Chains A and B, each alone.
Chain A
C-alpha cells in the first residue's frame, strides 16, 4: 500500500514556465488537498476537493489550479510560475468531507519546488 505519492520529488523551474505537480492516492479517499509549506508559516491550504468532479479554493489559491477527474488523482498546476511560489508542496487526503471534522488527513512526502 503506497498511500499518497507525489511527483516530482523536487524541481527547479524557470519563472514563467508551466508546471504540474502530480498527486495520487490509493486509499479511495473522497477528499484531497494541496498545501504549501513555508518557513514560519506552517502549512497553508491552496485548493481542495471534497469528491471527484468538484474543487474549491483554500487560503492561498492565486496562481494555482487543480482538477479532480477521478478519485485517485489530484494534480496541481502552476500556469506561469513566479519566484514567490518557491515552496514545499504537500498533497493530502481524508476519508470523508462534510460528515466528520475528526477525520485524519494523510500526507504525501512533498514536492520541493524552486522557481528562479
Chain B
C-alpha cells in the first residue's frame, strides 16, 4: 500500500537558520510528490512538485526538495527561515496509475520560527 510519512510532527528553528522538513514515501512505483503549505485558518497552497523530471525541485518562497529514490525520501529545505514561513507543511503523493487525481497526505509538520 502506498503511504507518506512525515518524520517530525513539529520543527522549531530560529529566523535566518536552515529549515529541513523530512518526508518518506512508500510505493511500488515512482509517484508524483508534492509539498503543500497551510497557514493558520487558510487553505493549502502548493509549494513545489516532483514529476519524474529533475530530482531537485525548486518551489516558491525559496523552498526546494530533492527526490531520492534510493532513500524513498522527498525532504523539504530552505536555506534561511523567515517568520512568515511558520505554518503547517504537508508532504503529498499521488496515487498514480489508474487512480490519478487522488492524493495521499502525510500527517503534517508544524514549522515554528523563533525570532
* Residues of chain A having any CB pair with chain B under 8 Å: 4, 31, 33, 40-45, 48, 50, 58, 90, 92, 94, 96-110
Given A44-B105, A97-B100: A102 and B43 interface contact (C-beta under 8 Å): no
Q: What chain B residues lie within 8 Å of A96 (beta carbons)? A: 101
**Contact present for B103 and A105 (CB under 8 Å):** yes
- Shortest Cβ gap from B49 to chain A (Å): 7
Query: What are the residues of chain B within 8 A of A106 when measuring CB–CB?
Result: 46
How many B residues touch A, CB cutoff 8 Å? 26
Q: Does B80 interact with chain A (Cβ within 8 Å)?
A: no
Q: Which chain B residues have a beta carbon within 8 Å of chain A's beta carbons? A: 9, 31-32, 34, 36, 41-46, 49, 51, 90, 94-97, 100-103, 105-108
Task: Give the shortest distance, in Å, between B114 (CB) and chain A (any CB).
Answer: 23
Interface pair A103/B101, CB less than 8 Å apart? yes
Please determine whether A104 and B43 come into contact, CB atoms closer than 8 angstroms.
no
| Nearest Cβ on chain A to B103's Cβ, whole angstroms | 6
A90 engages B95 (CB within 8 Å) = no
**Shortest CB–CB separation between residue A44 and chain B, in angstroms?**
7
Closest chain-B Cβ to A3's Cβ sits at a distance in Å of: 9
Report how far A33 CA is from B42 CA in the complex, Å.
Answer: 17
**CB-nearest residue of chain B to A103:** B101
Q: Knowing A90-B43, A90-B44, A108-B43 touch, does A100 contact B100 (C-beta < 8 A)?
A: yes
